[in-house]
Structure 1
Amino acid sequence: MVWLLGATTFVMGTSEMIVTGLLPQLSAALGVSVASAGTLITAFAVGMMIGAPAMSVATLRLPRRTALIAALVVFAAGHVVGALSSGLGLALAGRFAAALGNGTFWAVGAVIATTASGPAASTRAMGVMVGGTTLANVVGVPLGTAAGQLSGWQTPFWALAALAVAAAAVIVRRVPADRSGADSTLRAETSALRRPRLWLVYLAIALIQSGIMAFYSYVAPLLTDRAGLAAAAVPLAMLGFGAGALAGTALGGRRGDGKPYGTLVPATAVTAAVLAALTLWATSSVVAVVLVVLLGAAGFATNPVVVGEVVRVAGADRALPMALATSAFQVGIALGSWAGGAALTSTLNTQGPPLAGTALALLALVPLGLLAATHRKAAPGGPSGPSAQVEQGEQAGQDLAVGHPADAHRVDPAPEPSAHRR
């Protein structure tokens, strides 16, 4: 089941970034400037940032399989609207709808994946899902861009809509029906948000992501103007970044369950060090490309681990905290792109974006340090420590085995009997 969800996030990830490679074609088709066409990227980010938590609340009473299918239908509809658009307004509406579907799928899918795998393997489960998005950047986006350039920009939109419908059909057959989502309450979802540790994790997510994106948002001009890399070789450098990110995601997913902060803190420190090296020494094309690959590996090693920490702190069956994690990633993307752009237009010129990224990555070590300290303090096995969480996860697994999926990781101390419980 987890691998099916990971394959679907490949489709979602391809959709998120496909517009970046088709901006010239979209601007010509919609009759707007390239900068105006770029608002299609912004619309998707805003849809993910705001829509993920809003839709997780709106679908709270739906069974989770139903919520997944609904998310994919909305996602597909958004791409159909986009493919049929002849003006920017309709195209923006389609992108926003696709983002709503994407955010909902991530929030609900992550809950299903981590509940099925249990807390002891939640980071590895998230590594599979994050890996789908990472693979999308390595394979899906380049293929979609090539298809759009060869046969029209609408082609990848139609293909993504068709793939989403196909994924919904597979989920109908392969994901078991349950009523665990229908037993959720808004009070239970929001109770987890009162935990300060959770907001420290969100802050770490946003700062790590912004550090990476401050540089990577402007990777093409930085590689050509400062490192002297030929423009034709930039896609290969970006492919290297994606390959590094895929390796880092796999490594983080494997190590993060046993040593979450033993993985997060070193990986973030290496991310800051690589960005500092890009600031100082990326004047050689060979050195710059090697550093870009290392940035992908170090930066993306954190992604499954921080999402796994959201699961550990909030509980494995909470969609709203997971949706806010998705929002935190989008906040990081927006903050990093803004900071990198501001630095690029300053007197720092091409050294600005990696320097801004270095500062943001170093800032991420502050919440991570606080989290690591409290994690060690809780480690001896107190009621809120990791050992207690694993025991709760094992009990939840037993409950699932005997047919009580709604009882896993219940936040309310004394839930009222439900007609859906057996």
Structure 2
Amino acid sequence: MTSDQLTRPVGPAAPTADPTGRLPLVVYVLAVGTFLMLTTEFVVAGLLPEIAGDLQVSVAQAGLLITVFAVGMVVGAPTMALLTRRMPRRTTLVLALVVFAVGHLVVAVGSSFALLLAARFVTAFATGAFWAVASVAATRAAGPGSSARALGLVGAGGMLANVLGVPLGAFAGQLSTWRGPFWALAALALAAVPLIARHVQRDDDEQQPVPLRSELGAMRSGRLWLVLAACATTTGGVLSVYSFISPLLTDRAGLAPSWVPLVLVGFGVGSLVGTVHGGRLGDARPHTTTIAVAASTTVVLLALCLLATHPLPTVLLVVLLGLLGLSANPVLSALAVRFAGVAPTLGVAMSVAAYDLGTAIGSGAAGSALDSGLGATGPAVVGTGIASLTLVPTITIAVVRRRRLAGGRP
């Protein structure tokens, strides 16, 4: 399967790719926005002990700040895609950043755990809207032959959060207070508003949106739902472990707390490299990429379960998990755009919802496993089981694709 078979132009005026192979500047601008979005989702992972101590809840309970954000994304991404379907993409992105900033200010000053949960839930709606619209804007700008690569770069902005945002948040939380990173994210979101407003252009076809009935009808695609299942399991498997990586490293592997941010950097660098190269591979061989990533991620997580008491192997496996675990996500997002047909924004929104459904289920199950007899190894056991399920939809999609080609269908 070639790169121009992977995706189709989104809308009637999808541009052609730059003949030099370079992606448009707007794709990099959108990656800046996704950097903020993924930073806020997982900065909590490096601050769980500090948050739990300040709010007088258990570490597992503090982990609900990750789970409730994921649940908000599950509900918010498709809901906001439908509610903002008649709005220019630029307007939607700017409003999403403003709501994002307000939500972080509430977390920064709030003292009630219930209030923080509510603020995280509302912020997730804005994040879901931004991520879905940014993904479609990136694919339009890059053209049909570079869709997965563009999504890989936008996703790499999120992965860069694991390299810089999340570790810096963990350092700040240890040096001062866990509230500092939330103040910083609010300020950065407001600073990003003029950047997005300047570089994201309004498309002519946004004045003539696809009828709602047609968009909802596009959701009947069986292949789309297989992709969504793969989105949920691949992310749920990896992030169930990542959400509780701090107790795994300190309680099980015996590392000092000061090492946790450095390991998070290693995971983030691996994720950044894996996402960029996963997008490149996925433009040419999408199905091979998704199957290989699912299989290798399962093996890495299983090894992490078995070797968690050994510090050096554990650190290396966490970095390897970052490199492999999320590298197929841009490919899955590009397939979601393709299989959603006339409803690309809703298709991407559904993939975002699926990613976070997996995160919510995975982190929730991992929190329960952390409090069980499995202890700090519990999240890795949960992650292994969830990640292995990714092989079912990815292999099925490849088989369906082969049968369709044999029958003369695209």
The answer to whether 1:232 aligns with 2:258 is yes
The answer to whether 1:331 aligns with 2:357 is yes
Root mean square deviation of aligned Cα: 2.5
The answer to whether 1:259 aligns with 2:285 is yes
Q: Which runs of 5+ in 2 are unaligned?
A: 1-25
**1:80–1:94 contact (8 Å) kept in structure 2:** no
Corresponding residue for residue 204 of structure 1: 230
Q: 1:368 and 1:191 mapped to 2: Cα distance? A: 23
Corresponding residue for residue 390 of structure 1: none
Corresponding residue for residue 28 of structure 2: 3
Q: CA deviation at 1:220?
A: 2.9
Q: 1:71 and 1:260 mapped to 2: Cα distance? A: 31
Q: CA deviation at 1:94?
A: 2.6
Amino acid at match of 2:296: V
The answer to whether 1:221 aligns with 2:211 is no
The answer to whether 1:278 aligns with 2:320 is no
Larger deviation, residues 76-85 vs 61-70: 76-85
Q: 2:247 and 2:107 mapped to 1: Cα distance? A: 29
Q: CA deviation at 1:233?
A: 2.6
Corresponding residue for residue 388 of structure 1: none
Corresponding residue for residue 53 of structure 1: 78
TM-score with structure 2 setting the length: 0.85
The answer to whether 1:173 aligns with 2:195 is no
Amino acid at match of 1:107: A
Which of 167, 171, 176 matches 1:142?
A: 167
Larger deviation, residues 9-18 vs 148-157: 148-157
SS of residue paired to 1:181: helix
TM-score with structure 1 setting the length: 0.83
Corresponding residue for residue 364 of structure 1: 390
Give the 5 Å matches for 1:323-402: 323-346=349-372, 348-349=374-375, 351-379=377-405, 382-383=408-409, 385=410
The answer to whether 1:87 aligns with 2:112 is yes
Give the percent of matched residue pairs that are identical in Structure 1 and Structure 2. 50
Count matched residues: 384
Q: CA deviation at 1:151?
A: 4.9
SS of residue paired to 1:194: coil
The answer to whether 1:119 aligns with 2:144 is yes
Q: 1:308 and 1:82 mapped to 2: Cα distance? A: 33
SS of residue paired to 2:331: helix
How big is each residue's C-alpha offset from its partner over 1:228-266, in whole Å with a ceiling of 9 and x where there is no partner? 434433332222222211111111011001100111111
Q: CA deviation at 1:5?
A: 0.2
Corresponding residue for residue 183 of structure 1: 208
The 1:262/1:42 distance shift into structure 2, 3 A limit, reads closer
Amino acid at match of 1:111: V
Amino acid at match of 1:373: V
Q: 1:308 and 1:235 mapped to 2: Cα distance? A: 32
Larger Cα-atom Rg: 1
Corresponding residue for residue 132 of structure 1: 157
Q: 2:84 and 2:312 mapped to 1: Cα distance? A: 49
Q: 1:135 and 1:330 mapped to 2: Cα distance? A: 18
The answer to whether 1:110 aligns with 2:130 is no
How big is each residue's C-alpha offset from its partner over 1:53-109, in whole Å with a ceiling of 9 and x where there is no partner? 111111111111111111112112212233333433443333222211111001111
Higher RCO (C-alpha 8 Å, min separation 6): 2
Q: Which runs of 5+ in 1 are unaligned?
A: 386-422
Q: CA deviation at 1:26?
A: 4.4
The 1:124/1:317 distance shift into structure 2, 3 A limit, reads farther
Q: CA deviation at 1:381?
A: 9.4
